[in-house]
Structure 1
Amino acid sequence: MTGTRTIEARTDGGARPRGPGGGGLVGAIGAEWTKLWSVRTPYACLLAGVALTGVFTFYYGSLARINDKPVQPLGNAPVSSVVLGQFAVVVLAMATVTSEYATGSARTSLLWVPVRHRVLVAKSVVAGAVSFIAGALFAVLGMAVAWTPFRGHASFVPAEAASQALATALYCALVAVLTVGASFALRTAAATLPALFLLLYGLPVTCQALGGPLLLSVDDFLPQTAGGHFMHGGTGAPYGAPAGILIVLAWTAAAHWAGRYVLGRRDA
């Protein structure tokens, strides 16, 4: 039989047509992976993350030595650099969504993957996976850079360092997934980036600067502060490390739900 479809033998002696394989969520993830690395944005974001981590951790280690601070875990340097370094993964994850809305290619993506929430999940998986690896690399790089300027003001315990590196990687991955959800909800870079900057940096800084029991309590439940408590192992926090990552997960789930709601309700 000729044509575009093949014939598959059946055990009852008949035959049935068999369409092409692939597709589904796995196919959507593969497509998003290919699209991500076909543009320059992720490379620029990762290079910016490396630069920010290197500069900030060197500065952090130098300050600890100059101010003669007590010995602290070496992993504290890259954890502190996440305050700025997280925006490298924010921009990377945001671009996977807002660039398509800007160019109109979001319509094409939704035609290829008509089950809309799969597009959201696929972008989240790809952005989260890349950001997890990037976060781990940033942590390792930060510890390597900070070791020299610390000059005896940091301790290196392999298990502790590995734990902080994995915690940093997980936090970066969740921030990326949160960003994808927020990007689908807001759709433009002009709206998404300021909103995430306010949530991840502006509000924590404001709450800590103004102080007071109420604002400091609010700050403890913001994603960046909760993530910091998690990456520091819960040291000095009002709750343990598991509670910190659960708070970040809750923010991520809320952003994901908002993105899915808007994606399902509005046209591309």
Structure 2
Amino acid sequence: MHQLRHSGGGFAGAVAAEWTKMWSVRSPYVCLAVGALATAVFTFYYGSIARINDKPVQPVGNAPVTSLLLVQFAVVVLVMVTVTSEYATSSVRASLLWVPLRHRVQLAKSLVCAAVAFITGILFGVLGIAVAWAPFRGHATFEMSKALSQVLAMGVYCALIAVLTVGVAFALRASAGALAVLFTLVSALPSVLTGLGGDVLLAVNDYLPQTAGTYVMQGADGAPYPRVAAMAILLSWAVAAHLTGRLVLRRRDV
């Protein structure tokens, strides 16, 4: 009995289950394909515009970094659906029955989603650099250390946005509500604050996840704080969302 109870379960079993569930449906493949296509299109456009407008020479990695600010929603949707689809079909009941420790379900899902998002961010970065190099035509530089730093930072950014997304999805449960909150927090609010301008609003914008993430990916050039501080801000958002989702998950019946 003791052997049976401890074989094949625990946190490792929860992670394996989440991994299997993620790749057993079509949505991750669609999101990744759309994200890759969008990355290729946006980075090619970025390089072309930089050349046509004769912009200053810049690291070629700036193209996929800028592209990711739009393409990140392919990752957000991929991750969000892993949570909200279970609530929509009530299969979350089975998940919580198989893994009675509720925080373990969320933690396993966050770990799997973060790992997939990290690899996705790296692949999008490499793809973006490869595609953008040709249309830049001399308006970009390629330094291996800088490119590697930006690509790895893209992976880290995507991973932390994935953790944030899992937390929000567990807190709200519905796809529409979760996507609305995530879009507002990650994209719409920075655009509004930047558009309105003013010292106070711009200062608030500096502490939003996308802004801090951009500083991380671009190397914090011109940022009001060091790169390590930008990483801490981004990490704080991810942890706050995770803890909020965990609190709601523990208090609700489902």
What CA RMSD, in Å, does the superposition of the two structures yield over aligned residues?
Answer: 0.8
1:256 counterpart = 2:236? no
Following TM superposition, by how much is the alpha carbon of 1:64 offset from its aligned partner in structure 2, in angstroms? 0.7
Match of 1:165 among 147, 151, 157: 151
Structure 2 CA distance, aligned partners of 1:193 and 1:267?
23
Q: Which residue of 1 aligns with 2:11?
A: 25
User: What pairs up with 1:158-197 in 2 under 5 angstroms?
Assistant: 158-197=144-183
After TM superposition, what 4+ stretches of structure 1 lie above 2 angstroms from structure 2? none
Identical positions, percent? 62
1:103 counterpart = 2:89? yes
Q: Which residue of 2 aligns with 1:115?
A: 101
Match of 1:79 among 42, 65, 84: 65
1:222 counterpart = 2:184? no
Rg larger for? 1
Structure 2 CA distance, aligned partners of 1:208 and 1:55?
25
Match of 1:153 among 98, 123, 139: 139
Structure 2 CA distance, aligned partners of 1:63 and 1:229?
22
1:247 counterpart = 2:229? no
Match of 1:43 among 10, 29, 33: 29
Structure 2 CA distance, aligned partners of 1:220 and 1:55?
28
Match of 1:236 among 222, 227, 240: 222
Following TM superposition, by how much is the alpha carbon of 1:218 offset from its aligned partner in structure 2, in angstroms? 0.7
Q: Which residue of 2 aligns with 1:9?
A: none
Q: Which residue of 2 aligns with 1:131?
A: 117
**CA deviation string 1:95-114 (max 9, x = no partner):** 11000000000000000000
Structure 1 CA distance, aligned partners of 2:55 and 2:226?
24
Alignment-mate amino acid for residue 44 of structure 2: F
Instruction: Name the structure where helix makes up a greater proportion of residues.
Output: 2
Q: Which residue of 2 aligns with 1:8?
A: none
Structure 2 CA distance, aligned partners of 1:63 and 1:244?
28
- TM-score where L is the length of structure 1: 0.93
Structure 2 CA distance, aligned partners of 1:132 and 1:177?
11
**CA deviation string 1:210-234 (max 9, x = no partner):** 1111111011000001000110001
Structure 2 unaligned blocks of 5 or more: none
Following TM superposition, by how much is the alpha carbon of 1:240 offset from its aligned partner in structure 2, in angstroms? 1.5
Following TM superposition, by how much is the alpha carbon of 1:246 offset from its aligned partner in structure 2, in angstroms? 0.8
- TM-score where L is the length of structure 2: 0.98
Q: Which residue of 2 aligns with 1:144?
A: 130
Alignment-mate amino acid for residue 147 of structure 2: A
Q: Which residue of 1 aligns with 2:194?
A: 208
Structure 1 unaligned blocks of 5 or more: 6-16
Following TM superposition, by how much is the alpha carbon of 1:184 offset from its aligned partner in structure 2, in angstroms? 0.3
Structure 1 CA distance, aligned partners of 2:38 and 2:214?
17
Alignment-mate amino acid for residue 98 of structure 1: T
Q: Number of aligned pairs?
A: 253
Alignment-mate amino acid for residue 27 of structure 1: G
Following TM superposition, by how much is the alpha carbon of 1:36 offset from its aligned partner in structure 2, in angstroms? 0.3
Alignment-mate amino acid for residue 167 of structure 1: A
